[in-house]
Structure 1
Amino acid sequence: MSIFQEYEKIRREVGEEMWARFHQFLDHRPDYLLSDVLYKRDVAADFEAWLPTAPAYKIITIRRAEGPKGMNRGRYEAFTWKEANQILREMAATVFGSYYDKVDFTVQFANETHKGRYDLTIKDNFHADLYGHIESECLFYMGQLRPKHMKMTEYTNFILGIDSAPYESFYKSVLLPTKEAEEERVDSISDVAIVAYVLGRKTIPLGTSGLGELYEQTSSGECLLTERGHGVYERNKAEIDKLAQHVHVPALQVWEQLQNS
């Protein structure tokens, strides 16, 4: 029996909720592996001690409905909002220009299922936020979040015709209990984008203010990262490498869109 088959067998035995709890715990303790939780007594004891403090569980499935030809449109599974956001970030690296690709998602909560669509753009290289997407939809129908394109009178009239009770109930009793700690970002989004641009293009990203701080220009015109620029790279290596290798999605374009949003 392969390790994959063994894990699938264990998953069936413990049930979907406990399997999701294992993954939540690993997000809480990234120094552990799934095998540690399953086979090491001291780690299992840590898991049991953590379990009463765990947020409400959920199982998230994501499937890309649109995208480049040959793109894998398979089903991806996540057990935390952080994992789901990472899946969306990886997908966003292949969104072309200012377009968006439709992504279908399903969230299986403890007592109900929520389905929806996420419009994926190049901004999601940095800003992917599935929880925030669902939360914004709830707050919109609860009359607490007016979109920029709607005037106040238009929004007020729209809300008057909506029964907000189901959205409020779902938000407070189902969605909110699953909220996780906010992801901390040491470096600004623009710094990450500028470093990725310099590494990918070896040229000056026009319209930015990183010269001398994040990168320097040699006499031959080539751009090289400064010590601070290297620090930004080391802290955000996976994200920057992904951006730098997609020449049709220049990081500067992401940065410009973020500045104008």
Structure 2
Amino acid sequence: MATFVTRDGTEIFYKDWGAKDAPTIVFHHGWPLSSDDWDNQMLFFLGEGFRVVAHDRRGHGRSTQTDTGHDMDTYVADVLELAELLDLNDATHVGHSTGGGEVARYAARARPGRIARAVLIGAVPPIMVQTPANPGGLPLAVFDETRAALIANRAQFFLDVPSGPFYGFNRPGATVLPGVIQNWWRQGMMGGTKAHYDCIKAFSETDFTEDLRAIKVPVLIQHGEDDQIVPIANSAHLAIDLVAQGTLKTYPGLSHGMATVNADTINADILAFIRS
């Protein structure tokens, strides 16, 4: 397994596949998952001639189950170190959900030349929680309920989320995919419960408004119109007005987990964006 140790002693697991001189795509996973959530995309883009890189965020997957550093600044500092270690230049960074926030902050802070474009899929920016400046956000009580469910029975909660709203399997007529549910559960249970608990605050309360404004590279924003986890009205519809070079592509009826259950559609649009 490939790992590196950050400046604060955290071991980060990562995958790095493909020719090192090929155009690079870096994938950033959502909560509470791991780089395995990008299996389809990693294989697809590798087959298209790209170098593909993905890491397990600290506390998640195979990375150290540290009890500290579960905030967006530290998450991005880890990615900055990974980019330096692998000397990733002119890369496309693709982030889903929490990973979309990570990409937005990374894009705003990365050294010039490190990032060429960004893709945000069902992403949390600009900010999820309801505040006076963000009256359309979700009430803090929603995230308090998530924390309470995690504490009460993490294993059951990590079955309930993918069985229902994450992939839209709770919608009438939905084709339920048990393997997808089990894989979500597997990835979640690999990580540390302290990391997962703290990350709820990171993904829900971090304000990415200024990060989005600071991004200088082209940005593709992809969002399912039936996203029950990160509602489109308070995320993609706001984020597109904050980026300088943005393209918004929405998908009628698709869920938060569309990169998995509708991978062919999502992959084709990312590929077209990169090659445009």
TM-score above 0.5 = no
Taking structure 2 as the reference length, what is the TM-score of the superposition?
0.29
Q: TM-score, normalised by structure 1?
A: 0.31
Greater share of residues in strand: 2
